[in-house]
Amino acid sequence: MRRFLYENGLSLAFGAIFLLALVLQSVAGWREVIEQQLTHGDPAPGYWAFVQSSQFWLPVMENWQSEYLQFSLFIFLTVWLVQKGSPESKELGKEGAESEKDQQIGRHAGEDAPSWARGGRLRVAIYSNSLGLVMTTIFLLTWTAQSVTGWTVFNEEQRRHGQAAVSWIGYLQRPDFWERTLQNWQSEFLAVGSMAVLAIYLRQRGSPESKPVGAAHEATGVEG
């Protein structure tokens, strides 16, 4: 058990603080809804009813989709674009998908290579892009889930104000959908861009997200 905790500490720690934050978000969101309902003189939902509502899942999906978009873009753009001096970038001159030898695929695959890296053009092609494909799929699914939960919340507001409900397609053309989407995208783009740029001149000793403390500012694609 100690070995399991040691070898998987990073993913377990993030998993734990994710669940804690999600529970705290649900409690804070529920209390906010109670305050709003009391202000309007409406009956307040119970906690379990709230966590089974679109009011809770809409902001969850909003944030998930933007995070997966951020990583999907980062995965794909770093194949082709570089940033001199950044540990998040490949070395200058290595832009592109790189050779089979560099990527250890096909006849260059080692004995311990994943079987999908060894043979079959289609299998190698799929496995070569599997990380980006899965992250992009999660982005598209969570963005669609945001639109569906947002549609339900939007129509509930319409009903409250005595206005007609809109179709899902109609909701996709509403400012509400795009404001929720873009407010998350802009912050993710800034965060990932600043991570790539700030790490040119700043260091975090011991972190693989940083260059070694003594590395030159011009050193690119070097990890601590």
Partner 1 sequence: MPRRPTAGGRRGDVTHAPARGSPVRVAGNNLTMRVVFAAYLALISAGIVVAFVVGLTHR
- The three-state (H, E, C) secondary structure of 5-60, written as one string: HHHCHHHHHHHHHHHHHHHHHHHHHHHHHHHHHHHHCCCCCCHHHHHCCHHHHHHH
3-state class percentages of the chain: helix first, strand second, coil last, to nearest 5: 65, 0, 35
The Cα 189–Cα 202 span in angstroms is 19
- The interface with partner 1 within residues 146-165 (CB under 8 A) comprises 146, 148-152, 155
Using CB under 8 A, which of 30, 33, 60, 220 touches partner 1? 60
Using CB under 8 A, which of 13, 38, 77, 131 touches partner 1? 131
Both tokens of residue 209? Answer: 């997200």
Nearer CB in complex with partner 1: 3/161:
3
Interaction between residue 133 and partner 1 (CB under 8 A): no
Nearer CB in complex with partner 1: 69/88:
88
Where does this chain bind partner 1 (CB under 8 A)?
3-4, 6-8, 11-12, 15, 52-54, 57-58, 60-61, 64, 71, 74-75, 88, 112, 131, 138, 141-142, 144-146, 148-152, 155, 192, 195, 208-209, 223
